[in-house]
A and B are shown apart, each in its own frame.
Chain A
Amino acid sequence: MSWLSLLILIPLATALGVVVTPESKWYARRWIALWGTGIVLALSFVMSATYMQAVQQRAGDASLLTVSKMEFEHAVPWFSSMGIEYHVGVDGISMAMIVLTAIIIFTGVLASWDVKERSREFFAFLLVLVTGVFGVFISVDLFLFFVFYEVAVLPMYLLIGVWGTGRKEYSAMKLTLMLMVGSAFVLVGLLALYHAAGAATFDLNKLAMVDYSADLQSWVFPCVFVGFGVLGALFPFHTWSPDGHASAPTAVSMLHAGVLMKLGGYGVLRVAVYLMPEGAKQWALFFLVLTTINIVYGAYAAIKQTDLKYFTAYSSVSHCGFVLFGLCSLNLMGFKGAVIQMFSHGIMTGLFFGLIGMVYGRSKTRDLTKMGGLSRRMPWLATSFYIGGLASLGLPGLSGFVAESTVFLGGFFGNRWVDSSTMRVCTLLATSSIVVTAVYVLRGLARVFQGKISNPQFNQLDDATVAEKLCTGILVATLAIVGMYPPVLIDLIEHAIVPIVNRF
């Protein structure tokens, strides 16, 4: 029994606990969910610390230069005839993602504190969803990885379709279908790799030992990249994201934009880039251009949005572009920046969607043109919103800057396989998005929080409750800690990135 299995067992057990809570004690459910996710959060911190110790102990081990060393490994045969195992383990990248997920789900539960409608199913699905996400991050076996990936995608349909707002059925269907199509691409890629490696194992590190032919990589790489890219909001497959996020209930938006979209970047790094360096070299330019479009175009599209959630969703499209952009740089800083951006954007967008939910719960509107002057009534929420906004426009001292500057340097430094002037033009274009981001973030925030109170009803609104303060406080603190002292994150991920870079 590995520690890691606890990460999927605890949410599952919590889901079970939520399900068996009698209807008369509905308020107990949120406490159960909070305790369960709180334990997971604590566990994730303990494991990160343990991981750091382990990394320091084996510093300088030359055999680990091109293979990701997993910690807390644990393998049990599953379908042994096909070489499929329940094989779990983590390296620094997945550790960072696990911490991110734990933070987001904990705060997500806090943000759903007042969900009363079918709260049994809501919390249960939420916890099942997060089980899938944890499962993806701890899987070493790619088949297991894929299974958990699907587990993570499916509850989303119900969560949006049932508890959502607006065109929820349409959005839920669109999101699920697009992600399913994406995962079909991924599956094709995985099976191709499995087959090429002799159809004996799905183990990531064993697959990594195989020398795939350039021809194979040249078609499998784009398959996997696009497949995961759909989840990572790769242009032009990002359109599920605005609709999906706009319709989803608060905690689901948080989890989805905060964590699930990161599965895309994570998958690209873990499967596409790690296993197929040759394919990456061939396709880097193409995807670099696509992600540049992502970044710039998402930012411009965000300017014109009037719905607060659409606004944030487009900003997510733009910011998730940085993740994929960094991955296309194919160098240490690019990868590092991408992983930091995954973490940073996860926290940031979790904060955004959490806050939007809280503001919407009070003002009953998400239309920017109908809001105004809310900071007088809700200073806490306004302050948190401003900090989130400043993080998203890359203000130093908050985590966004650490990520974006690393990605920019990575892009500018380029690599040997892509024409350097193209890389630089793309990088500068991507860099220019920080101005556009400033424009839309400041406009949006000014509309909502500054000026005179636009609607007399707003005079009755209250500031955040204790649960909401805790929720936003944790997220803001995380943004600030990573932003002010980046080594906490960089030390965690760097050792895991070096082997991937060394494969190039």
Chain B
Amino acid sequence: MTGFIFENAWLIPAMPLIAILLIAVLARGENRGLAGMIGSAAIGVAFLMTCWLGVSYLRLADQGAAAVTWSIEWLRYQDHLVVSLGTLIDPISLLLLVVVTSVSLLVHVYSLGYMAGDEGFSRYYVFLSLFTFSMLGLVLAPNLVQMYVFWELVGVSSFLLIGFYYTLPEAIAASKKAFIVTRFADLFFLAGILVLGFYVHQLVVAGGSAASVVGAATTQTQALDFATINADSVLLALKGQTGIFGTDLLTVAMLLVFVGAAGKSAMFPLHVWLPDAMAGPTPVSALIHAATMVVAGVYLVARMFPGFAASEDALRVVAAVGSFTCLFAAVIACTQTDIKRVLAFSTLSQIGYMMLALGVASAEHPAGFGASMFHLYTHAFFKALLFLGAGSVIHAVGSNEVTEMGGLRKKMPWTHATFLTATLAIAGVPPLAGFFSKDEILGAAWDGHHALIFGVGVFVASLTAFYMFRLYILTFLGGCRSAEAERAHESPPVMTIPLVVLGVMSLCGGWIGVSHFVLPGVELHAHLAVMGISVAAAAVGIGAAFWMYGGQTNRAETIARSLGGVYRLVKHKFYIDEIYLFLTHMIFRFIAAPAAWFDRHVVDGAMNLSAAVVHRFAAGMNVFQTGQVQTYGIWMINGTILVMVFLWLVQR
């Protein structure tokens, strides 16, 4: 894999980094309008370079090749544990590069309109560029540590962007929550890195001397490179060692990594931060909390897929968590009225879909792997479109509540058209993008004989169609339910053009054979039966939505009332936030407060006690210090005499 763009792939993430510096230097005060231009231009260049890279890659004879095309030594822990920063080019990293740069470019452009006039305009673009830089670095990571490094960096840029409106208490709380929950998950990721680092390092060192396990271990073999970890011999050796709780070591390591992935991808039960993260600006939600960052977890699992596949238990956990989250979030989405929250739960559900797809794949039948990547790719476009469309609506109406919208179809034609496209795409209506990817996932589940998962998938497909059309109907159809909605008008072109581009992608994105690109040489076949089932499910969902919300009836309310407690439970997101809040309070009250008290009173008390004892003793000694020179003199002379007598006696 040679060529200028391969060997200089680092230029792609470098672009947003340069943008940050330029914005910091140039776009201050009155010039802050420049920030958007600089940021958009830089990411535009990055996008063009990605296209160049993609085209060069497609021209290669060896399809599906993977290579680290550029690297520099970064952090030298010890021999065989040298971390390099590098660029790993293979189909999935290329796919993610395309997704990230294109969506990011569109969001940058869209924000020119959406954020115009905000006093934190240049700050916004700095954060956005920081995020893009980190995400690109994450995607290109050739080793676990680089992955972790940029993993944390995307986390912090997400934190900064959620808390962008830093005077709003809910934004502050949401940003902290997002960071801490994902950080908690990252702890497990880090532990996974430690476990893998130690045991793979052991194998590499042994391989270097005895050439036993890792055949071709050289001094250049680094334990934490994906190339080393994903090697079959290493995985086999890890599977052979016992871990804790009666599982093998590989499963332990992979599960630890998966917890990290689940945190970033907001899988149940670590999903609580994502709905709150909608407190950030809407384009941010589109870019970070829908299209790119939250799929990092999926990407991580895909990156380490050989490990998950080798340890079948870990893969089963992935499938279970994925399908549960997918169902759970879809159910909640049906009851929410905040437009961004509905989309957030829909994101959760779709990421669950991707995890589910990975879970049903295996080394022999990797179809699910391709399907997952395919869905990641299509989802990025239609979900970004949905969020940007929602942003356009919020911009016009000034509220997030669908109860204050309605009837926007005529007033915002471009937004309406593109939003509808995306809704159809996510609902899985042929021939839009979502249909193909969802169909492949269901097909993979079917092929893998995972009946339960297949059932869940179909049911969620139906639910997805239902809640998305519910949202669409409430927002765009019917009559206006508030004065703001009456006055709403279409957004400026700088906002609608990205919508149209994304609309086109949602429409046609599915026609590209991503699965073939990701899994070259694997024979994939379509299932007409599965296609039929999924289309039927979508139709049922859409029909139900129109039946309940289409007319002027209040069937929805009637049903909600008849469900009673169950509805309330779902509406309050199963009270999981409250449980977390309770647990946090418990930690504060029963660990932190006692620790602080203990320190002040016991540890410090002990120190003060020892000081007091010395003081008491000194006070006792003070009796001898009369301050009378005469007394001192008596003691002194007496002492001298005694010493003299003593010396004299000794001498004799």
Contacts and interface: CB of A to CB of B under 8 A. Distances in A.
Do A and B contact each other directly (Cβ–Cβ < 8 Å)? yes
Interface of A: 174, 177-178, 235-240, 242-243, 297, 300-301, 303-305, 314, 332-333, 336, 373, 375-376, 390, 393-397, 401-402, 405-406, 408-409, 412-413, 427-428, 431-432, 434-435, 438-439, 442-443, 446, 449-452, 485-487, 490, 494
A304 B593 contact: yes
A428 B149 contact: no
B152 A178 contact: no
B436 interface: no
B604 A487 contact: no
A238 B600 CA distance: 11
Contacts of A375: 166
Contact of B180 (A314, A405, A439): A439
Contact of B611 (A177, A406, A432, A439): A177
B194 A303 contact: no
17 contacts: A174-B611, A178-B607, A239-B603, A239-B607, A301-B599, A396-B149, A397-B149, A401-B152, A402-B75, A405-B145, A405-B190, A413-B198, A427-B194, A434-B183, A439-B180, A442-B159, A451-B167
Interface of A is mostly: helix
Interface in B144-178: 145, 148-150, 152-153, 156, 159, 163, 166-167, 169, 172, 175-176
Interface in B111-147: 145
A390 B167 CA distance: 20
Given A413-B198, A452-B167, A487 B73 contact: yes
A333 B156 contact: no
B648 interface: no
A53 B275 CA distance: 55
B191 A431 contact: yes
A428 B191 contact: yes
A396 B588 contact: no
Contacts of A243: 604
Contact of B78 (A333, A439, A450): A333
Interface string B48-85: 00000000000000000000000001111110010000
- List of 6 A-B pairs having minimum Cβ-Cβ separation, nearest first: A396-B149, A304-B596, A300-B595, A303-B592, A239-B604, A412-B194
B179 A490 contact: no
A242 B601 CA distance: 13
Interface centre among A303, A375, A394, A443 (most CB of B within 10 A): A303
A332 B75 contact: no
Given A396-B150, A408-B194, A438 B599 contact: no
A16 B166 CA distance: 48
Nearest to B123: A379
Contacts of B179: 438, 442
Nearest to B177: A442
A490 B595 contact: no
B180 A435 contact: yes
A443 B595 contact: no
Among A236, A409, A431, A449, chain B packs the most CB atoms within 10 A around the CB of A409
B184 interface: yes
B599 A239 contact: yes
B210 interface: no
B641 interface: no
Given A396-B152, A409-B194, 14 more contacts: A236-B606, A237-B607, A239-B599, A243-B604, A300-B595, A303-B588, A303-B592, A375-B166, A431-B187, A431-B190, A438-B180, A450-B163, A451-B166, A487-B76
Nearest to A300: B595
Contacts of A235: 603
Contact of A443 (B148, B176, B607): B176
A145 to B, nearest CB: 26
A174 B183 contact: no
A402 to B, nearest CB: 6
A178 B175 CA distance: 41
Given A300-B595, A406-B77, A450 B172 contact: yes
B156 A395 contact: yes
B643 interface: no
A169 to B, nearest CB: 13
A485 B604 CA distance: 40
Given A375-B166, A395-B153, A297 B595 contact: yes
Q: Which of A394, A439, A443, A494 has the most CB of B within 10 A?
A: A439
B607 A174 contact: yes
A428 B153 CA distance: 22
Contacts of A409: 77, 81, 194, 197-198
Contacts of A408: 190, 194
A303 B176 contact: no
A494 B76 contact: yes
A240 B599 CA distance: 11
Contacts of B613: none
A310 to B, nearest CB: 9
A442 B176 contact: yes
Max count, chain A CB within 10 A of own CB: residue among B77, B148, B176, B611: B77
B533 interface: no
A318 to B, nearest CB: 11
Contacts of B75: 402, 405-406, 486-487, 490
Contacts of B148: 396
Nearest to B78: A332
B591 interface: yes
B595 A304 contact: yes
Contacts of A443: 176
Contacts of B81: 333, 409
Contact of B153 (A376, A396, A412, A485): A396
A406 B607 CA distance: 33
Contacts of B169: 451
Interface string B186-214: 01001100110110010000000000000
A178 B614 CA distance: 13
Contacts of B593: 304
A314 B598 CA distance: 13
A380 to B, nearest CB: 12
Contacts of B78: 332-333
A301 B167 contact: no
Contacts of A439: 180
A412 B595 contact: no
Contacts of A300: 591-592, 595-596
B156 to A, nearest CB: 6
A490 B465 CA distance: 55
A442 B180 contact: yes
Contacts of A376: 167
A65 to B, nearest CB: 15
A478 B176 CA distance: 26
Contacts of B152: 394-396, 401
Contacts of B149: 396-397, 401
Nearest to A412: B194
Contacts of B194: 408-409, 412, 427-428, 431
Contacts of A393: 183
A408 B148 CA distance: 14
A490 B148 CA distance: 20
Interface in B586-623: 588, 591-593, 595-596, 598-599, 603-604, 606-607, 611
Contacts of A333: 77-78, 81
A53 B163 CA distance: 47
Interface string B218-260: 0000000000000000000000000000000000000000000
A178 to B, nearest CB: 7
B603 A432 contact: no
B592 A304 contact: yes
A435 B176 contact: no
A438 B187 CA distance: 11
A289 to B, nearest CB: 16
Contacts of A405: 75, 145, 190
Contacts of B180: 435, 438-439, 442
B603 to A, nearest CB: 5
A431 B591 CA distance: 17
A428 to B, nearest CB: 6
